[in-house]
A and B are shown apart, each in its own frame.
Chain A
Amino acid sequence: MILVVASFTFFLVRMMPGNPIEAKYEQLIMSGYTPDQAMSAVRVMYGFIPKQPLFQQFVTYLWQILHLNLGQSISYEGTPVMKIILGAAPWTIILVLTGTLASFVVGVLAGVIAAIRRNKVSGNLITVSGSLLHGIPQFVMGLFLAYVFTTIWAVFPYGAPYDASLTPGFNWPYIGSLAWHAILPVATYALSSYGGWLLTMKSSVISVLGDDFILAAEVRGIKPSIRMRYIAQNAMLPLFTILALSIGFMFGGSIFIEDIFDYPGLGNMLTNAISYKDYPLMSGAFLLITVAIIAANIATDFLYSIVDPRIRR
């Protein structure tokens, strides 16, 4: 899978209109480089030599990737792509994970309540809250939150992940400022996925409630708290599968959300890379996102095999 994406980005970059590699090569020649110097400069930048046969270029490129060398960025003159990505990734990962976790916990709990009170007004209100939020696209939610809480009613800061007057480091004002600045983007992730968790959990709980073993637990006089645990455990199973998909989806959403909140994560980096035609950075980012999604899938499978004895070996 990673190989496929690596190959895909390689050929994508090769087929870009105007061939950025040749263009760069020519640009270097014109600015006084000898062909040799130009070639090695380009090689350092993209990870392969443009004048070689395509196949050999491809092999070199893959070889470099294996050594975690993604070439050098164009827009950030000469900075290794890897370094830029590693600088941006934590921001996105923290936002996405916090948002997913928050919405997962709240959505699952609300889903259980909505299922159990499904014939009562309170349960229906919860379900409606889920359906409504579920229907709002991520970027609309982001724009809405940004507009309401930074423009109309300026309670939360806008732009920049922390207060510029503070020194980054392990001190409370700095961490507090980080958290404060992260609230809106995290809330956007959380609110836009909350409805999905809620609705899935609700229907899952309803189906588990009809299972014979829950009736059996009732007939045996199992305590309500333990019975609740039986229900929740079993109802959560299908959600783990969606968790992986959802994390991938959230990474995709970071393109809009980080743009809206001007947050220096992967999404923002990718937007910039696209507007500056920074192909090495782009292909690096694609690769990384793929790797992240695959990692999330593997983690989910692993998690699943822990919680469900039926698929354990």
Chain B
Amino acid sequence: MNAELQLIDAQTAVQVRGLNVVYETTQGDIPAVQNVNLDIRKGQITGIIGESGSGKSTLVMAMMNAVAKPGRVASGSIEVSGVGDMMKLSTEQQRRARSTELGLVFQAAQNSLNPLRRIGHQVLDLGRSHGVKDLRALLRKAKDLLERLGLDADRVLTAYQHELSGGMRQRVGIMFALVLDAKVVILDEATTALDMLSQASVLQIVRELHEERGLTTILITHDMGVVGDLADRVVVMYAGCIVEEGVTQEVLTSPKHPYTRGLIRAIPRISGDIDKAVPLSGSPPDMNTYKQPGCLFADRCPLAAPECQQSRPPLLEVETGRHVACFRVNDHA
């Protein structure tokens, strides 16, 4: 597909096309994201799920064109509504889009602050970086957000990172992603350091803010319950590929990719009964998995047929708004 000729449609906030990200390591290149095509719809909450190492974080970092070394975007385009192709913008234009258009709470949000500077000063640094005129108003906004997230804002703003708990830091990270009114907000396991109750309340607030501000939210989590409760749509990743994508309810109740099915069956909370929880058989993908020409899931797949070993199944629209990458999508019982 040709990115220049494509006009991003009005429903789409971020359009990812032909995205490939590799990490160059001494053992060889790890294709952490492979051939990803994805439309993130405006105003919706999109959940991304998948095993550890399936490339979720890498995908969202690539959306901001901020993949850290030794990773690099090998090819692809990231059209962001109202901004342009992140891959083609100048460094300065990309920088200006961050925080103002795209806000990211990244996985290591607990260490996302300069240890030598008070939080309030770092909010001001953010404001200065993006040409905010009224810095007082910015601080007030930061304060309101922190208070909504259940923190003692005055204390937090005058504190240093080491004076805050892990959960407090994550909430400060969420504040940073929202304080400049980004329209697309990405939360990469942003609530992992919180206890169940705080997690529920923080996610509740995220949902409220999402609705109030008409945000587009991307939520990476390992918690299927969270996906079920919050996400409008869900994206399932396996070994750097999207294997299934669709409306949350449909995907969770009638998964079409054998991996999604296995994933859901592995979680008692969704299937209902702990005795029925079945762990996925086989081992997670490794370097050798990536090298083979066939479906990356074939080795663990109960439905694997000879054709699955020969070529990769493309992500196809099997119903309206429902994409699955499987040759045997219609063959299961």
Contact = CB atoms under 8 A, between A and B. Distances in A.
Is chain B a partner of chain A in the same complex?
yes
Interface of A: 211-213, 215-224, 226, 230, 233-234, 237, 307-310
B128 A226 contact: yes
B129 A211 contact: no
Given A215-B106, A309-B160, A222 B116 contact: no
A308 B114 CA distance: 11
Contacts of B113: 213, 216
The 5 residue pairs across chains A and B that have the minimum distance between CB atoms: A221-B98, A216-B112, A212-B111, A212-B108, A223-B129
Interface of A is mostly: helix
Nearest to B116: A233
B97 A221 contact: yes
Interface in B145-167: 160, 162
Nearest to A209: B69
A233 B95 CA distance: 22
Contacts of A216: 106, 108-109, 111-113, 173
B259 interface: no
Interface string B86-120: 00000000111111100010101101111111000
B129 A222 contact: yes
Contact of B112 (A213, A226, A237): A213
23 contacts: A211-B111, A212-B108, A212-B111, A213-B112, A215-B66, A215-B106, A216-B106, A219-B61, A220-B129, A220-B176, A221-B94, A221-B97, A221-B98, A221-B100, A222-B125, A223-B95, A226-B129, A230-B116, A233-B117, A237-B116, A307-B116, A309-B116, A310-B160
Contact of A234 (B114, B130, B173): B114
B112 A221 contact: no
Given A221-B96, A221-B97, A226 B125 contact: yes
B244 to A, nearest CB: 28
Contacts of B114: 213, 217, 230, 233-234
Contacts of B128: 223, 226
B234 interface: no
A212 B100 CA distance: 21
A107 to B, nearest CB: 21
B115 A310 contact: yes
Nearest to A215: B68
Contacts of A308: 116
A221 B116 contact: no
B104 A219 contact: yes
Nearest to B60: A219
A234 B95 CA distance: 22
A212 B169 CA distance: 13
A219 B98 contact: yes
A310 B125 CA distance: 20
A224 B128 CA distance: 11
A219 B67 CA distance: 9
B115 A234 contact: yes
A149 B109 CA distance: 56
A215 B113 CA distance: 10
A213 B125 contact: no
Given A212-B106, A230-B114, A308-B116, 20 more contacts: A213-B115, A215-B106, A216-B109, A216-B112, A218-B98, A219-B104, A220-B98, A220-B104, A220-B176, A221-B98, A221-B99, A222-B125, A222-B129, A226-B125, A226-B129, A237-B116, A309-B116, A309-B160, A310-B115, A310-B162
A115 B109 CA distance: 25
B129 A218 contact: no
Contacts of A226: 125, 128-129
A308 B116 CA distance: 6
Contacts of A217: 114
Nearest to B98: A221
Contacts of A221: 94-100, 126, 129-130
Nearest to B126: A220
A309 B61 CA distance: 31
B162 A309 contact: yes
A234 B116 contact: yes
B64 interface: yes
A217 B104 CA distance: 11
A213 B129 contact: no
